[in-house]
Amino acid sequence: MKHEGTGMMKRMLWIFSLCLILYSCKEPLTEEVQAEIQVIPRPQVITVLEGTFEMTSKTSIKANRDLMVQAEQLRDYLSPASGYVLPINKRHTGGNLIELKLLDELSTLGEEGYEMTITSKKVLITAHRPKGIIWGIQTLRQLFPVEILREAAVDDVAWELPCVNILDKPRFEWRGLMIDYSRTFWNISHTKKYIDALSYYKMNRLHMHLTDDQGWRIEIEKYPALTEIASQFDTVYHEPREREGYYSREDIRELVRYAEARGVELIPEIEMPGHTTEVFAAYPELSCTGDTLSVHPFFMGPGIHNEIFCAGKKETFEFLENVLSEVSELFPSEYIHIGGDEAPKVLWKTCPHCQRVIKEYSLKDEDELQSWFIRQVEGYIQSKGKKLIGWDEITEGGLSGTATVMFWRAGMENALLSAVEQGNMVILTPTSHCYFDYTYDRISTEKVYSLESIIDKIETLNPGKILGVQANFWSHIDRTEPGMDRQIFPRLLVLAEVGWTEALNREWDHFSPRLEHHYQSLDLLDIYYTDE
Ligand SMILES: [Zn+2]
């Protein structure tokens, strides 16, 4: 309770200081001035100053060794379009300057906040932690003329920035996108494009749904048949080759490095106990029946299978622990997602192994058996120093007090409220606002902005229990890259603002013209989108 109180106090202090700064601005923002600040998500506090800063061939970057990665990243962002390869120095060497600096006294800005002051002579980005510097750099990129995103030199643009002071930090810690790699496999370059886009809009989690009935998408050294057999569709379906495949261990390491430099954390999801029939194509002994199954495209078989991991065989847990051990080593993330959704218990009801466990541990029914199953896995994940996330079905049959719950079923309000009441952290991904494989008729771009109504209800009843928000993209319907892009954009920009910007500081009428402005950015980021 004491802990919660401290968190709440900090939050109130932050809001109070924010209001104070907002009201103490000497020159309140006019509509005209605001038009220059087209940043998404909207920074918490913007004070426009007189004048402009111009980047020229004489501009240099100043940073200490602890920010060298960020300084190099900044140079790489600015070089292609401007044609200037800005030198990186520890000291100021003449000309105007972009300086990156960590300051202990900015601890109130947390892990991800930053302050940026632009005068005619200098851009200064300060933060408490390197991640704050990364987000400051993304704001800086958005303040430049949009042509800065071009990959080849542009001659006729003055690289001017408005003089401004920005004080900024995120509202929620988790601002994510889930991509389903199982129903359709997406290659490494497409994933990098998404990491770039997430970073540009300060979204910090890419949740990778790596396993499901339609294919296993990650190499596990101990179980080669997962990639040899379970990553391929059965040949009877004649699926195009590019829809199947997997990431090698080296691919994952490359993606982790790429994402880390851009402030994005990759979160692996390994599904259990359901949505696992692709595993039984390779290792049939892990289900209750032991039948060998085949890997089928989504629309060529049931969406939900009765065959799930047998909860009564010790081989199941041996397999899962070995898999999770390799996954934990590959992904430095704090969290591992274990799925937990849509697991029919029909075979558990008659399986002698499963029934033996129910009896041995005096469990009430098969729902409690799933809860027991998840607790076994959570114990193992915690022994690896990680935390567990599961879909909201993990609340059924008794929820572990330490699990983080990803709420996806829009009608599950009672379970959601009881989870936060119990003290669990939640991530909001409701089908009503966050399922970006749904049509725009069902979830319009503006509707995503109204996720606030759900956030507000939970925050009012149990403040501080929302870890964050996330969009989900399931890849069974849209299976081409442009099709996927159009489902996700521009809705992702809306969610980026909902996740970052305090509610008191934003509104749709202000967001909408900024979004129009960002269509040009999406063009230059090679992203297809719809403006319907
Ligand atoms: Zn069983």
Residue in this structure with the two tokens 């958005």, named with its chain if needed: 142
What CATH number is associated with residue 43?
3.30.379.10
Instruction: Enumerate the active-site residues.
Output: 212, 275, 342
**Residue range(s) defining the domain that contains residue 133:** 37-168
Q: Does the structure show a pLDDT above 90 at 343?
A: yes
> In sequence order, which residues have a C-beta less than 8 Å from that of residue 387 and are 6 or more positions away?
334, 335, 336, 381, 402, 404
Residue range 170-191: average pLDDT?
A: 98
Tell me the two tokens of residue 203: 């979204």
- 3 state SS of 134: helix
| 287 Cα to the center of ligand 1, angstroms | 6
Co-location of 199 and 63 in the same domain: no
Helix ranges (H only) for 269-310 are: 277-282
The pLDDT of residue 354 is 98
pLDDT band at 30 (very low <50, low <70, confident <90, very high): very low
DSSP 38-62: --SSPPSEEEEEEEEEE--TT-EEE
CA of 3 to the centre of ligand 1 (A): 42
Instruction: Determine how many CB atoms are found less than 10 A away from the CB of residue 105.
Output: 8
Cα 315 to middle of ligand 1, angstroms: 11
Residue 32 confidence class, pLDDT cut points 50, 70, 90 = very low
List pLDDT tens digits, range 89-107.
987 777 899 999 999 999 9
CA of 77 to the centre of ligand 1 (A): 53
Cα 217 to averaged position of ligand 1 atoms, centre (Å): 25
Those residues whose beta carbon sits under 5 angstroms from the ion ligand 1 are 288, 310, 312, 351, 353-354
Cα-only R_g, the chain: 24
Give the contacts of 12 (CB within 8 A, at least 6 positions apart). none
d(CA 76, CA 164): 23
**Residue 8 is assigned to a structural domain of this protein:** no
Q: What average pLDDT does this structure show over 273-283? A: 98
Q: How far apart are CA 93 and CA 87, in angstroms?
A: 10
Q: Residue 131 pLDDT more than 90?
A: yes
- Per-residue pLDDT tens for 446-485? 999 999 999 999 999 999 999 999 999 999 999 999 999 9
Task: Write down which residue in 168, 195, 210 finishes a domain.
Answer: 168
* Residue % of the chain over a pLDDT of 70: 93
Ligand 1 center from residue 357 Cα (angstroms):
9
- Domain boundary (144, 168, 192) is at 168
Residue 250 in any domain: the answer is yes
User: Per the structure, how many domains does the chain have?
Assistant: 2
448's CB contacts (< 8 A; 6+ apart) are: 433, 434, 491, 494, 495, 498
Q: What is the distance in A from the centroid of ligand 1 to the CA of 307?
A: 9
Give the Cα-Cα-Cα angle 63, 146, 449 (nearest 5 degrees). Answer: 100
CA distances from 241 to 35, 69, 237, 244 (A): 47, 37, 11, 6
Query: What is the whole-number distance in angstroms between the Cα of residue 338 and the centre of ligand 1?
Result: 19
Note whether 132 and 179 are same-domain residues: no
